[in-house]
Structure 1
Amino acid sequence: MNHADVIIIGSGVAALHLAKKIRSDINVIILTKSYLINSNSYLAQGGVAAALGKADDPAKHYADTLEAGRHHNDEEAVDRLTKEGPGLIRELALAGCSFDRDEVGKLLLGMEGAHSEKRIVHGGGDATGKIIVDFLHRQLSPNVSVYEFVLAFELIVDQETNQCIGVKGKYADGETGHFFAGHVVVATGGCGQIYGFTSNAETVTGDGIALAYLAGAELADMEFVQFHPTLLISEGKAVGLISEAVRGEGAKLLTGDGQPIMENIHPLKDLAPRHIVSQTIYDYLKQGHQVYLDISNINNFSARFPNITALCEQNNIEIQTGLIPVVPGCHFLMGGIKTDLYGRTNIQGLYAIGEAACTGIHGANRLASNSLLEGLAYGKRLAQLINKQPIVSLCSSLPDRKSNSSETLPLPEVPDLKKAMMDYAGIVRTGKGLRHLQEWLATFHIEKWVKADLDTLSPPEIKKAFMLITAWLVTESALQRTESRGGHFRLDFPFEDDLNWRKKQIIHKRNTEKGERHEQIETAFAT
């Protein structure tokens, strides 16, 4: 058995900033299912949004965030985040994080879609996530121990006290480890790999969301999935992200015969909110057109975007032609584990930060480059909360629980699941398609999986089970929300329905005592 004061599941920006900010006399264990740097944060290209420009103000950033989120956001959470943003960036920069600067040493500020001002801070041109993760990793103190290649598969919860006291994890050889702590933090990222086209790291399969749901934590907004408009496509596969910053620098979306596709679609044209751009590209693809990013008017493209240039070269895309073939793909989950302003969940001692959490910041559609900022803000905030609390010793015995064997339960093949989700719960959804998907997912006995004992499963089988549960949660939520809003587009309900749906969340919770599932719709935020 392993004991610590804090256990963090995941190793992205939110997790590492939390670990960095925790007091040096508090023992921390980071569990990550792969290498520490294998995360969505590390892949993040665009940057971090913060109102640092002379003409900018947190109030403008706040307004842009609400507009992109189609006013489904928690306004208090957005207000606090946008006000904290400039200080967080200055703090990192002063500590030595190597953001890009101009010739006189000022931070360079870029433009991205749905922003009203240049406020995107970036590092390494298009390697901002890598710059921040590497910096935070170097800053970790000796009180932080990192366990790589440990797949967390169960949160240990004392049902009598509603207290999370630890985590079960699978080592690469299949052995089970037990990790106990008074504070357990889920920072595992979203669920991008449940879709066929995605920008997400291979490890992002909805683990934390399924873990929390099975433990009895509340989930919210699982229908809101952001599809990034521009993933590089090569030989029929999405092979990497083409940052929105490329369009911020002036790239245009065209068909093969040179027709601009965003004209007369939205006032911001190619920099319209992501759901609008993704849906427009999707419509052209359905009509048989390939869509390209025209980068011919960007000077020194290779110097400004070295990682994107390398990605194109690796996939035999000649950027000298000025055209990069793109498709939309799953990029970010706005929903997740329901939390308060500090990452606290409805289970004592269990927290969620980063993309795994639903803080209300992003509403129905995330504003570009707000995710790294959210991770930094909630990592620091949660650390401040934990630092104020006394260190306590918890009982490290495993609570009794009743569960079903998982040995005979079926699981879908991952490619089949990814295709089904892309076809029926992807960019454009319909009630008929979602019900078809719901019926297919039900053939794998969801009712039994949510009560199953996962101890006997291998890591690949656990991954499949978590993907199945997460896919079901997305599908159920998408079927219940009978309107279109942000990242959720229903062809059979194509318009926003403010009367019935504005500010309303679909909440999922598993009753762990009876093993039952509950979904409810509630007013989530003050209007």
Structure 2
Amino acid sequence: MKKADVIIVGSGIAALQLARTLSQQSHVMIITKNHRRSSNSFMAQGGIAAAISKEDHSDQHFIDTMIAGEWHGNNERVKRLVEEGKEAVEELIAMKAPFDRNTNDEFSLGMEGAHSTHRILHSGGDQTGKHLINFLLETLSTPNVEWIENEMVIELLFNTSGSCIGVQTKNYAEETREYFSSHIVLATGGAGGMYLPTSNHPSVSGDGLAMAYRAGARIADLEFFQFHPTLLTIEGEAIGLISEAVRGAGGTLINDHGDRIMEGKHPQLELGPRHIVAHEIFKQNESGRKVYLDISNIDRFQTRFPSISTMCVQNGICLEEGKIPVSPGSHFMMGGVVIDEIGRTNLKGLYAIGEVACSGVHGANRLASNSLLEGLVYGKRLASYLIKSLEIEGPRDFSSIKFRKKTKGSLPFSMKEIQENMMKYVGIIRDKKGIDIQLSWLKSTSLSPFENIEDWDRKTIQTYYMWINALLMTESASLRTESRGGHIRLDFPQVDDSNWLKKRIVHEQRNQRMKVEYDEQREIKIYA
């Protein structure tokens, strides 16, 4: 039996921040589906939002976050995020993290959508994730960290008392293995791969979300999915992300007639909240117009945005002409596995941090560059809790139980079909007709969300988990009859505070049914 003090599933910023603190004294096992650098965190371009300048304040960062999230966020948790986030960033600065500075040796703070001031720390211009992940990897206490790479976690394991005590994995040779710990942390990222196009790493398709649901964890807010406004798009195919920092540096959005498409749409124009900007580009595309990011007014573009420049040039874009073709694509999941303020789920021994978790800090639409911040804060916070837990921990029963009947791994749909149908019917714009079509299609199979998948191959399991997530997301979109943040319905176009501000949608595994729960204080703690 292979055991560790703590098992972390995933290798993004939340996972590494947690491991960095724990590894000083505990045996930490990090299991990742692919390579340790195969994560959305590593791909992050923009940066980390923190009120570190003299002109800024955490209170303003709090207000910007709440406004972007259309007041669906948890006030207390957002407040703690921005305050502890500032401390976490200052700790990284003290550790000599490689944040960019200007000629006066001051931090070069960027501006991004829905922020009221410059507060985005970045590295390598537009390569923040790469530099930060490499930095955190270097800070791990190597003797205490055990890496399990290229193994996909396919199932959470439980003992007879209902505690999560391990995980089951499959490697590329389709061999099944099991690992055990009293503390299992999901840091698997979001589910951007549920859609096409997407800015996410190809491996990010919501495995952690589906596994947690199958195990009985509570799930919330899956109707809120953020679509990034600007993906480089060549002949209808999305190539890669164009950071919001480009618009913060002065880039404007124009159509093929040369019109500024955000004029009159939002007071902050191109720097309005992401769901608003993405919606406007989507409407332009639907009407037959092409949309471009005009970079002609940005000085030293190639120096300031080296990786974006390289991507554009490699795909035949002449930067001297000053126009980059863009369209929206799936980017970030605001909902997820419901956690308390520490990262605990409703299942003993199971935790979730980062994008896979519904922590209450993003509301209905994440504020730009708050995602890396969330990973830093919750990684550090959960580490403090686990260190104390490990000190007083008693013996644990590691006898796992099997509770699913074996079934054949045959699916009547492909991964691409799920992705295309999700974008078509539960994408940037939704309505009852499309949602019902998608629900009917998803439920037309005889599959259950609780199949025994042990003998299935990795690709089939990933596709099956995408089907589960599609079902949960579509049910969520069906239930929320208003438009708020990343959930935009043509048939319910207005924000409906009287009926929806204080409601949360929660999926429960019990009896395989959907359930609406009410929270009069807009807090998540009643589910923890």
Contact 1:31 1:147 in 2 (8 A): yes
Q: Structure 2 counterpart of 1:247, which letter?
A: R
Output the CA distance in 2 between the equivalents of 1:40 and 1:490.
28
Contact 1:217 1:509 in 2 (8 A): yes
Summarize deviations over 1:246-295 as a string: whole Å, max 9, x none: 00001000011211000000111110100100110000000000100000
Name the CA shift for 1:428/1:526 in 2 (closer, same or farther; >3 Å).
closer
- SS state at 2:238 partner: strand
Output the CA distance in 1 between the equivalents of 2:222 and 2:320.
41
- SS state at 1:452 partner: coil
How far apart are 1:23 and its partner, in Å?
A: 4.8
Output the CA distance in 2 between the equivalents of 1:378 and 1:525.
22
Q: Structure 1 counterpart of 2:518, which letter?
A: E
User: 1:225 corresponds to which residue?
Assistant: 225
User: 1:322 corresponds to which residue?
Assistant: 322
Output the CA distance in 2 between the equivalents of 1:246 and 1:443.
44
Unaligned 5+ residue runs, structure 1?
Answer: none
Contact 2:47 2:121 in 1 (8 A): yes
- SS state at 1:29 partner: strand
How far apart are 1:161 and its partner, in Å?
A: 2.7
Contact 2:72 2:501 in 1 (8 A): yes
How far apart are 1:136 and its partner, in Å?
A: 0.6
User: 1:123 corresponds to which residue?
Assistant: 123
- Structure 2 residue 395 is the aligned partner of structure 1 residue 396: no
How far apart are 1:520 and its partner, in Å?
A: 2.2
Moved more, 364-373 or 50-59: 50-59
Contact 2:503 2:522 in 1 (8 A): no
How many equivalent residue pairs? 520
The 5-angstrom pairing of residues 335-350 of structure 1 reads 335-350=335-350
Output the CA distance in 1 between the equivalents of 2:521 and 2:419.
33
How far apart are 1:106 and its partner, in Å?
A: 1.8
Name the CA shift for 1:377/1:55 in 2 (closer, same or farther; >3 Å).
same
Q: Structure 1 counterpart of 2:138, which letter?
A: R
- Structure 2 residue 512 is the aligned partner of structure 1 residue 516: yes
- Structure 2 residue 497 is the aligned partner of structure 1 residue 501: no
Unaligned 5+ residue runs, structure 2?
Answer: 524-528
Contact 1:412 1:468 in 2 (8 A): no
Contact 2:409 2:460 in 1 (8 A): no
- Ranges of 4+ aligned residues in structure 1 off by more than 3 Å: 524-527
Q: Structure 2 counterpart of 1:129, which letter?
A: G
Summarize deviations over 1:21-51 as a string: whole Å, max 9, x none: 1153311110100000000000100000000
Name the CA shift for 1:171/1:392 in 2 (closer, same or farther; >3 Å).
farther
What TM-score, normalized to structure 2?
0.97
Q: Structure 1 counterpart of 2:516, which letter?
A: Q
- SS state at 2:418 partner: helix
Contact 2:409 2:456 in 1 (8 A): no
The 5-angstrom pairing of residues 318-397 of structure 1 reads 318-389=318-389, 390=391, 391-397=393-399
Output the CA distance in 1 between the equivalents of 2:43 and 2:394.
37
Contact 1:33 1:149 in 2 (8 A): yes
Q: Structure 2 counterpart of 1:341, which letter?
A: E
User: 1:138 corresponds to which residue?
Assistant: 138
Contact 1:182 1:393 in 2 (8 A): no
Contact 2:77 2:341 in 1 (8 A): yes
User: 1:407 corresponds to which residue?
Assistant: 408
Output the CA distance in 1 between the equivalents of 2:471 and 2:520.
22
Output the CA distance in 2 between the equivalents of 1:479 and 1:311.
38
Name the CA shift for 1:408/1:40 in 2 (closer, same or farther; >3 Å).
closer
User: 1:281 corresponds to which residue?
Assistant: 281
What TM-score, normalized to structure 1?
0.97
How far apart are 1:131 and its partner, in Å?
A: 1.1
How far apart are 1:503 and its partner, in Å?
A: 2.8
